[in-house]
Structure 1
Amino acid sequence: MFILSEVKDSVPIFPTNFGLPTHEAITSYLNKKYANKILQQVGFCLAVWDLVECGDGKVRWGDGAVWYKVKFNLLVFQPFSGEVLVGKVLSSTPDRIRISLGFFDDIYILISSLPADEFFFDPEDPDQPTGAHYWLVPLDEDAPSDSERTKLPILNNDMIRFRITASKFQEHEPRPPSERSKIVDGMAVPVDDDEDEQLPSWLLEATIAEQGLGVTGWWPAGDDEDQEEADELAMDES
C-alpha cells in the first residue's frame, strides 16, 4: 500500500531559513511542495522519507536563495492491483459508491463492481441524502422458494472492505475562458465548483463483488479486526 519513490529536484533555501541546518531546511521545503499532493504516474505523496543526495549550494543572480540539487525518497500511497483495503463509505449515487481512507478520498466502486442482485434506493433520509445501494442476499439451497431475501444496505460511514482493480491518472490542462465561465444575461459569469466537475488527478477503482468483500458487518467473523481498522481510521481523521 505504501512505497518509497526516488525523486530528483532543485530546492531553493531563502535567507529567512539560512539559520536552519541545511538538511532541515531542504526537508521542510520538499514537504511543503509534495505532501498531500498527487505525483503523476506515482501516487499520493505523504512525506519526505529521507535525503539520498545533496549537491553543493549555488547562488543564482536575482533571488538571493541558495539552490541545491537533491535526490530524495518520498513516502507514497500506491496500492497494487488486487490489494484488499478497508475504508469508509463517503457517498452513494445510482452509478457508484465513493470510499475514503481518511487521508485519500478518491476511491470509487462502480455499479458494475457491486454484488449481483443489488439495487439502489433513494430515501428521504437526511443522513443518507444521496440514497444507498442494497444487496439482496441469495437464498440457501434448502430455503423455501417463497422466502423473503435479506436486504443488506451500504450506508454512509459504513466500514467497507474492497479490492483495488484499477489506478487512473488524469492530467488537467488549462482550459479556454469559454469553458471556465458561462453566459448569464449577456455577461460572462465564472462557473461554480459544483458545475465545474473534473476527474480527480488520480483515482482508484475497486470491487466488492467477491466473497468476503463489502460492508464489514456483513461478515461477523472479522468484526474484531475490522473494528481495530475502523478505530485507526477514525484516529487518522481526527
Structure 2
Amino acid sequence: MFILTTIQDLIQIAPPDFHKPSPQAIKDAINAKYANKVVLNIGLCICMWDLLSSSEGLIGHGTGLVNVNVEFRIAVFRPFRGEIVKGRIGHSTQEGIWVGLNFTNEVFVPFQNLFENSHFEEGERVWVWDSEGTELFFDKGETVLFRVEQEEWIDQKPGIVQKDENGNVIEERGTAWRLIGSMAQPGLGPTLWWGDQEEGEEQEGGGEQAMVGEQEVGGELEDAGEQGDGREDVDEMVVDGA
C-alpha cells in the first residue's frame, strides 16, 4: 500500500526559514512541495521519509532564496492491483460508490464492480444488494473492504478557472489520479455483513465441536466399560480355577 520512492530535486528555502536548523528547513521545504500532491507515475505523496544527501546552499540573485540540490526518500500511497484496502463510504451515485480513506477520497467503485443483483435506491441515494431475498445496504459512513482493480492517471489542464458572467465556476479542475475498486467478492463490502456471519459460523462451529466431543467421550466410556466387564470375567475365571 505504501512505498518509499527516491527523488532528486532542487528546492528553495525562503529567508523566514533561515533561523531553522538546515535539516529541518530542508524537510519543511520538501513537505511543502510534495506532501499531499500527486506525482505522475509515482503516486500520492504523503511526507518525506528521510534525507539522503544535500548540497551547499546557493543564494539566488535578487530573491534571497537558498537553492539546495537534495536527494531524499518520500512515503507514497500506491496500492498494487488486487490489494484489499479498508475505507469508508463517502457518498453514492447512480454511477457507483465513492470511498474515502483517511488522507484521500479519490477511490471509486463503479456499479459494474458491485455484487450481482445490486440496485440503486434513488430516494435514499444508496446502493442495495439483494442477497437471496435479503436486502443489504451500502450505507454512507459504513466501513468497507474493497479490492484495487486499477489506477487512473488524468492529464490536468492549465490551472485557469473558467467563470461565467455571474462569477460562477463553469468547470472545476478535476483530480489527477484515482483508484478504481470493486466490491463483488465474498468478504468485500461493509465489514458489518461478514463480521456477523463469521460470529454465527463460529458459534455453530463451537456447537458442532461440542457434539463431536460428547460423542468421543461417550465412545471412550463405552469402550472402557466393555474392557472392565472383560477384566471382571477373567478375574472370576481365575478364582474358579484356583
Q: What TM-score do you get using the length of structure 2 for normalisation?
A: 0.76
Task: Provide closer, same or farther for how the CA distance between residues 24 and 156 of structure 1 changes in structure 2, counting only shifts above 3 A.
Answer: same
Amino acid at match of 1:100: G
Task: Provide closer, same or farther for how the CA distance between residues 24 and 200 of structure 1 changes in structure 2, counting only shifts above 3 A.
Answer: same
Whether the 8 Å contact between 1:84 and 1:161 is mirrored in structure 2 is: yes
Q: CA deviation at 1:84?
A: 0.1
State yes or no: 1:152 paired with 2:127: no
Structure 2 partner of 1:172: 156
Amino acid at match of 2:146: F
Structure 2 partner of 1:94: 94
Task: Provide closer, same or farther for how the CA distance between residues 212 and 40 of structure 1 changes in structure 2, counting only shifts above 3 A.
Answer: same
Amino acid at match of 2:139: L
The 5 A counterparts of 1:45-194 are: 45-123=45-123, 128=124, 131-138=125-132, 149-174=133-158, 180-182=162-164, 188-192=165-169
Task: Provide closer, same or farther for how the CA distance between residues 12 and 198 of structure 1 changes in structure 2, counting only shifts above 3 A.
Answer: closer
93-102 or 34-43: bigger deviation: 34-43
Amino acid at match of 1:201: A
5+ long unaligned stretches in structure 2? 200-242
Q: Which has the higher contact order (CA 8 A, sep 6+)?
A: 1
Whether the 8 Å contact between 1:217 and 1:223 is mirrored in structure 2 is: no
The 5 A counterparts of 1:31-42 are: 31-42=31-42
Task: Provide closer, same or farther for how the CA distance between residues 52 and 132 of structure 1 changes in structure 2, counting only shifts above 3 A.
Answer: same
1:82-127 deviation per Cα after TM superposition (whole angstroms, max 9, x unaligned): 100111000001111000012110100001100001111122xxxx
Aligned residues: 199
Q: What TM-score do you get using the length of structure 1 for normalisation?
A: 0.78
Identity %: 29
Amino acid at match of 1:59: I
Higher-helix-fraction structure: 2
Structure with max Cα Rg? 2
Q: CA deviation at 1:39?
A: 1.4
Give the whole-Å Cα distance in 1 for the aligned partners of 2:134 and 2:177: 36
